[in-house]
């Protein structure tokens, strides 16, 4: 009976390891590559002279750039460490302190870019005559700079919760958590700060239907691919 239980457990473990291996070695690299290419094409589309004159294009470009950076971060946090069988955070003082910081930062920038895209679309559909009063290029630039600076400063707690010890023995992690309570508290707040934007986006988008052009449809497909890594 014990032998049967051990065999079942071993089988499930091997099956889980195989799934993880396939996801990291095959699915994620393709998802990252497609996401980066899709977002680069989005930037090319919305940076064109006839498109950049719209305020929503600025938010869209910021969103595409943040998604590209988020995908690039996943290369160093997940894919390369698995291929090289080493943790990059244990090899570099800088990456030890900032590997999670970049994840939080770029995810937040992506989420809030979507929020302000929704706000701009809301004005275009429901308040078209007041849009010119509130949605201007100056207001858009101030908004973009503001939520970028706020995000950059807000997530600086993360590097302070880690300690890098290059002289640590093999049995001890070189990069380890030094302030677990602060990590849990600020980590919870950061999750709320990052993903509350998606809830706002859902609320603002409810009950509204509008027809997207081909470029916008391609952009949203690219954005979906860019966030596959979060699911994995």
CATH topology of domain 2-231: Rhopdopsin 7-helix transmembrane proteins (1.20.1070)
Convert the pLDDT of each residue in 16-39 to its tens digit: 677 877 887 788 889 999 999 999
Rounded-to-integer distance, Cα 216 and Cα 220, Å: 6
Rounded-to-integer distance, Cα 116 and Cα 121, Å: 8
Quick check: 182 and 9 in contact, CB under 8 A? no
Token pair listed for 224: 């979906």
Domain spans in the chain, listed from the N-terminal domain onward = 2-231
Instruction: For residues 117-128, give the mean pLDDT.
Output: 87
Convert the pLDDT of each residue in 40-62 to its tens digit: 999 999 999 888 888 899 999 99
Residue 172 has what pLDDT? 64
- What is the pTM for the complete model shown? 0.74
């Amino acid at each position: 009976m014990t032998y049967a239980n051990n065999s079942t457990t071993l089988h499930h473990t091997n099956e889980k390891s195989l799934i993880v291996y396939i996801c990291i070695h095959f699915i994620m690299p393709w998802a990252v590559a497609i996401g980066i290419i899709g977002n680069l094409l989005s930037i090319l589309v919305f940076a064109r002279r006839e498109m950049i004159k719209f305020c929503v294009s600025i938010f869209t470009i910021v969103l595409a750039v943040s998604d590209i950076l988020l995908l690039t971060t996943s290369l160093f946090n997940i894919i390369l460490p698995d291929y090289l069988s080493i943790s990059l955070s244990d090899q570099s003082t800088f990456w030890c302190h900032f590997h999670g910081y970049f994840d939080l930062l770029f995810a937040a920038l992506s989420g809030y870019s979507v929020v302000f895209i929704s706000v701009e679309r809301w004005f275009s559909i429901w308040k078209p005559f007041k849009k010119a009063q509130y949605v201007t290029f100056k207001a858009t630039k101030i908004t973009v700079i503001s939520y970028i600076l706020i995000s950059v400063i807000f997530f600086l707690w993360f590097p302070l919760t880690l300690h890098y010890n290059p002289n640590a023995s093999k049995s001890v992690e070189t990069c380890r958590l030094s302030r677990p309570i602060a990590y849990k508290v600020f980590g919870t707040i950061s999750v709320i700060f990052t993903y509350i934007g998606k809830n706002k986006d859902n609320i603002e988008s409810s009950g509204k239907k509008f027809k997207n052009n081909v470029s916008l449809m391609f952009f949203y497909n690219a954005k979906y691919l860019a966030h596959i890594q979060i699911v994995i």
